[in-house]
Amino acid sequence: MSWIDERPRAAFAAFAALHVVVWTALPSVLFFNLPLDLIEARTYGPEWQLGHDKLPPLPWWLAEIAYRLVGADFAFYLLSQLVVLASFALVWATALRIVGAAGALASVLIIDGLHYFNFTAPKFNHDVLQLPFWALAGWSFHAAIRRGRLRDWAWLGLALGLALWAKYFVVVLALPLAAFVLIDRQARRALRTGGPYVAIAVAVGVALPHLAWLIAQNFAPLAYAEARAAAGGALDHLTRPLLFVGGQILWLLPALLIALPLVRPRAGRMADPPDAVDRRIVALLAFGPAVLLIAAALLTGRRLIAMWGYPLWLFLGLWLVVAARPLIDRTRLQRVAATWGVVTALYGLAFIAHYGVLPYVDHRYRTSVFPGDRLAAEIAERFRAATGEPLRYVVADMWLGGNIHHYAPGQPRTLIDGRPARAPWIDLADLRAHGAAVVWTGEERASLPPQYAAIAAGAEVQPPFDLPMRFGNGRVPVGWAILRPAPRW
């Protein structure tokens, strides 16, 4: 116990190293094909756009940078865990100044019981990338309220600005923070300083290029969010929030199990517990965004997506430590760590079973067993054999086109769904000049799908073929057509 107090960074580093190694190695070994979110990143990332029709671009940029630096799929899984580690480090740093070294380590071990940070985190996406920015916002907000330094407010603005580049969900965090400053007596004093205004200025400045793009595009990506969370009927005002809460409680059970040694068996209390201001700030960070989200669903009846829980519970472990106010001695911390070890091992075994064993047994469709490499090789080779030209463009949906882009030589670009509006960076004249492969799946492969008829007029339907899924998980019926090159004179 004493060495944790004397060397808190070493204790956190030991935990972090184990977490990163385990959750980088498992998907690197068991994912034989990139998951959907990373295929999407490989489609959007190379285009370096300020915005896209679905979500902000920062996660896709970072995935592209990681791949260019490393050139192997494990780079994505490592990137994801480094992002999670950065989030943990910021939560740990926040907890360190409130509950000390042992409490800080316990706070992080508790939240690592959530599948968001281990089992599902390898699928690097917008949900994962928002984590460090939410954690940075919590770290800087606590510092700004307690110390009032302009640099802490600037850090808060940076966190919120970058969070917008990661996911628009940041509004669920920003509104409770703003409300706290307006309502809390201690926090309201900051309004008489320049701090909150510095935070706003920095946040707007950081987000400005993307905000300008959103305005120019008439906030087009919000239509995607609107479709995912469409309002329902009268009963949905109650059932949707209840289902979300029930799902979150289910996923929180392993974390709560790790926290159980804080209260059982009973023991002494902290010698110097957090004061009332710290307790209010920690409660805000732990529950403010979730309460806002659930209240909004109660009022509107909009659907709540389970994966929206990703950043909501970053500070739950700290709140549990603060609320329990335990005297965390060596025995109690060892019990927390041992329970964390058991939970982590069970998550690891579940991951191995799901991706390494069950594909041989249940033969369900999983992206990890999709033959993306074979699909890319077949389409690229057949296109070259028929036209004498390398494959530069694919007209397909995101999944098929993205797999061909990632695994085929030359990384052909995808005209997503055959809709130029979804891929405005593609020069249609250049596509016509170099030709394209039109690719789809399904049993109807004798004619071009209607959604591609306009953009690929004149495409020649080719003999279809089947590809086996890995491990006997069925087959992929592939239809394809050639839009022959029409060189410009």
Closest C-alpha to 127, from 112, 117, 137, 136: 117
- Please state, in angstroms and rounded to a whole number, the distance separating the CA atoms of residues 266 and 335: 13
Q: What is the structure's pLDDT at 42?
A: 95
Q: What is the pLDDT along the chain (489 residues), one digit of tens a residue?
A: 555 666 778 889 999 999 999 999 999 999 999 999 999 999 999 999 999 988 999 999 999 999 999 989 999 999 999 999 999 999 999 999 999 988 999 999 999 999 999 999 999 999 999 999 999 999 999 999 999 899 999 999 999 999 999 999 999 999 999 999 999 999 999 999 999 999 999 999 999 999 999 999 988 888 777 776 666 677 878 888 899 889 999 999 999 999 999 887 776 676 678 889 999 999 999 999 999 999 998 888 888 888 889 999 999 999 999 998 877 778 888 899 999 999 999 999 999 999 989 888 887 788 899 999 999 999 999 999 999 999 999 999 999 999 999 999 999 999 999 999 999 999 999 999 999 999 999 888 888 999 998 898 889 999 999 999 988 778 899 999 999 998 765
Q: What is the structure's pLDDT at 304?
A: 86
Q: What is the structure's pLDDT at 486?
A: 85
The number of helices, as runs of H, and strands, as runs of E, in the chain is 20, 6
Query: Is pTM, for the whole model, over 0.85?
Result: yes
- Collapsed DSSP state (helix, strand, coil) of residue 55: coil
- Please state, in angstroms and rounded to a whole number, the distance separating the CA atoms of residues 194 and 149: 9
- Collapsed DSSP state (helix, strand, coil) of residue 115: helix
Q: Which contacts (CB < 8 Å, 24+ apart) does range 268-273 have?
A: 268/326, 268/327, 269/325, 269/326, 269/327, 270/99, 270/103, 270/325, 270/326, 270/327, 271/327, 273/322, 273/325
User: DSSP assignment, residue 353?
Assistant: I
DSSP states along 208-272: HHHHHHHHHTTTTHHHHHHHHT-B--TTHHHHHHHHHHHHHHHHHHHHHHHHGGGTSS--PBPSS
What lies within 8 Å, CB to CB, of 211 at 6+ separation is: 164, 204
Q: What is the torsion angle, in degrees rounded to the nearest 10, for the CA atoms of residue 271, residue 272, residue 277 and residue 280?
A: -30
Q: What is the structure's pLDDT at 229?
A: 66
- Collapsed DSSP state (helix, strand, coil) of residue 418: coil
